[in-house]
Amino acid sequence: MEKQKFIPALGYDFLTAYYDLAIKLTMPEKRFRRLLVEEISPKPNEKTLEFGFGTAQNLLLVKQSCPNVDLRGLDIDPKVKEIANYKLAKNALEIPLELYDGVRLPYSDKQFDKVYSCLVFHQLDAETKLNCLKEIFRVLKPNGILIIADWGKAANPIMRLTFCFVQLLDGFNTTNDNVRGLMPSFMEKAGFDNISVSQSINTFIGTFSYFKARKNEVFKVNFKKNVE
């Protein structure tokens, strides 16, 4: 299958090298990444995947907060993998990083206790959002948890207006569903249950939300048997 086109970390390929600086300057980085690690709540030996690891900022924090977590990362862009590998080596951390074609996650079914993702889904069009969520659902174990930190429903008209900055960089097609608050319905369509927006913070460039969901596969199978 043909490799999918993708939007690079900062919208354009030549800007990828400046991604970390741009995030530092435009977002409350320490706060939003700390909240993400709290939402993930990593535990020793839990098999955990970062979907769209970018420049490894979250991988570093998750591994530092729980050194024995069984952590790995997946992305689509070879350029960020190079940056991420350099940073991991600099911090003497070994975390397996993989690239894929943007279509099928390179893992067998029911592998992961947790999958998390940060600032990725606003870069995916509706079809890709749903396909990626279905793939994440497939690789999660029953009762596995999905945590997504990304742009969410604008909390007020000012947040809606400032979010235009992100939309100009990343495109309107991929970001409109986020700012309209549609992430939970994508998660539901992919099969997830217990979907919630656990918290949202307002930044200079829009409302940033933490979405959580569970793969309640066991319940679904039993429920189906009972109604048949």
Binding site for ligand SAM (CB under 6 A): 4, 6-7, 9, 51-54, 57-58, 75-77, 80, 102, 118-120, 123-124, 128, 132
Separation CA 72–CA 208 (nearest Å): 24
Residue 4 tokens read as 């999918």
Q: For residues 101 and 3, is the Cβ–Cβ distance under 8 A? A: yes
**Nearer to ligand SAM by C-beta: 62 or 159?**
62
> For residues 35 and 216, which CB has a smaller minimum distance to ligand SAM in the complex?
35
Give the residue with the Cβ less far from ligand SAM, 22 or 194. 22
- Under a CB-based contact definition with an 8 Å cutoff, are residues 99 and 127 in contact? no
Nearer to ligand SAM, 12 or 223 (CB): 12
Q: Which is nearer to ligand SAM, 201 or 216 (CB)?
A: 201
Q: How far is the CB of 102 from ligand SAM (least distance, A)?
A: 4
Residue 38: which region, alpha, beta or left (left: phi > 0; alpha: psi -120 to 50)? alpha
- CA dihedral (80, 197, 29, 123) positive or negative: positive
Least separation, in Å, of the C-beta of 25 and ligand SAM? 14
Q: Quick one: which of 89, 47, 53, 88 has its CA closest to 66?
A: 47
State the minimum distance, in angstroms, from the CB of residue 80 to ligand SAM: 4
CA distances for 182 relative to 99, 140, 170, angstroms: 27, 22, 17
Least distance between ligand SAM and beta carbon 31 (Å): 13
Q: Tell me, what amino acid is at 111? A: Q
Instruction: Report in angstroms how near the CB of residue 24 gets to ligand SAM at its nearest.
Output: 11
- Cα torsion at 201, 187, 99, 65 (round to 10°)? 40
The first and second tokens of residue 40, run together, are 């993930």
Task: Identify whether the C-beta of residue 61 lies closer than 8 Å to the C-beta of residue 33.
Answer: yes
Six token digits for residue 135: 């793939």
In whole angstroms, the minimum distance from the beta carbon of 10 to ligand SAM comes to: 7
Residue closer to ligand SAM, measured from CB, 29 or 194? 29
The minimum distance between CB 228 and ligand SAM, in angstroms, equals 36
Residue nearest to ligand SAM (CB): 54
Residue 82 or 94 having the CB closest to ligand SAM: 82
